[in-house]
Amino acid sequence: MRERIGDILATVRGIASLPDAASPQALLSNHWMPFLGALAALAAGLALAVSLSIATSVDSEEAFVLQSSDGARFVAEVNGDGDVWVLLGHMYPTKNTRPTHRGIWDKFAERLVDEGYRVLRWDFRCHGESPCVYSDRPIEDVPDIYREWEAAIDYAVDQGAEELYGIGVSMGGTSLMQVAAYRDEFTAVSAISSPNQFPNKPPKDSDRATEDGFDKIEGLSTVADIQVPKLFIAGARNQCAFWQSNRYFRAAGEPVRFVIYETDLHGTEILDDEEIGPDAVGEVLAFLDDPGTILGKQKRNLAPDTDPHEECWPPEDDEDEDDAT
């Protein structure tokens, strides 16, 4: 990937000069040519400052741009300055939380920084400030969001992270379970309200749908390959998140912990809630502080009247109504 980007940058240098402190809006376009004139005008006295790690920021508290393995650019930000990094992947829009982007982590990220962690979070492609790649429908870009996890891991390692943790909510957790199965940099990983796969069906009239189906992120088939400690959290009344999280728990190898709350909240809504939020945040912080305390398979069920084995299939995805994952 780095060789590819180096070739691209060398070509661009030969066409026009690029600004030193490029803004996300300038660099994020996946179509360079319309912007080259404007970029050349801004380039007087400035030098190209894009490292081979693909980051373009010099201020860790401000947004910068990373690049995925397929060339897609996405906006990220770093908070805090600890040596232990926590990577945060957000969810797809829900009826209660829309739009979704890295900002849904604000409250939890602030708490992590207070605890001494360095936080890296980002807008998945076609969400927040990150441009769409395949089309203007976020649902069609979902199958490739695992690439943002890969680029985020590479960036944290390049920046000297001594330890690396991953936390994803909903589709952010599904894609994390997929990536953590083959990337060994993580010390531990956690998925909150995450489906086993997403999308559940091909988007309407999608060119990406073929006779073989539609690509999707897939976590259940890979979770058994994750060797580090795992923490799953779900609300017992949150559509099918409870049942699907229990499937993760059963399929995962040890050590693994599953915490169930009596709620219909989803993803970061659980962490931010006034009632159950403090307990849920405490669970995550204890996990980050010492994941080694999880032995075997542990389950903490605060909704004992619900049956995690009762099968439940989520409603069909409808990108026009922004149904949740």
**Domain positions in the chain:** 1-52, 59-301
pLDDT of res. 2: 35
In the chain, % of residues over pLDDT 70: 75
DSSP string, 31-96: --GGGHHHHHHHTTT------TT----S-TTS-EEEE-TTS-EEEEEEE---SEEEEEE-PPP-SS
- Asked if 152 and 195 count as a contact pair (C-beta separation under 8 A), the reply is no
Residue with tokens 């979770």: 223
Is this structure's pTM higher than 0.85? no
Residue 61 pLDDT grade (very low, low, confident, very high; cuts 50, 70, 90): low
pLDDT of res. 32: 43
**69: Cα within 13 Å, side-chain hemisphere:** 11
Q: How far apart are CA 102 and CA 135, in angstroms?
A: 21
Q: How far apart are CA 229 and CA 87, in angstroms?
A: 16
DSSP string, 118-163: EEEEEPPTTSTTSPPSS-S-HHHHGGGTHHHHHHHHHHHHHTT-SE
pLDDT of res. 62: 72
- Asked if 150 and 179 count as a contact pair (C-beta separation under 8 A), the reply is yes
pLDDT of res. 46: 32
* 96 burial via Cβ count (<10 Å: 0-12, 13-18, 19+): exposed
At 301 the three-state DSSP class reads strand
**254: Cα within 13 Å, side-chain hemisphere:** 8
Q: Give the residue-averaged pLDDT of 90-110.
A: 91
pLDDT exceeds 60 at position 19: no
Tens of pLDDT, residue by residue over 267-280, are: 999 999 999 999 99
Residue 289 pLDDT grade (very low, low, confident, very high; cuts 50, 70, 90): very high
Q: How far apart are CA 205 and CA 268, in angstroms?
A: 31
DSSP string, 187-224: SEEEEES--SEE-SSPPTT-TT-BTTB---EE-TTTGG
pLDDT exceeds 80 at position 221: yes
Q: How far apart are CA 279 and CA 274, in angstroms?
A: 10
Topology classification of domain 59-301 = Rossmann fold (3.40.50)
Structure tokens that stand for 298 in this block: 């542990």
State how beta strands 84-89 and 118-122 pair: parallel
Q: Give the residue-averaged pLDDT of 238-263.
A: 94
Task: Please compute Rg for the chain using Cα positions.
Answer: 20
pLDDT of res. 176: 98
169 phi/psi in degrees, rounded to 5 = -110, 135
Q: Give the residue-averaged pLDDT of 255-268.
A: 96
Q: How far apart are CA 127 and CA 119, in angstroms?
A: 19
pLDDT: which is higher, 30 or 209: 209
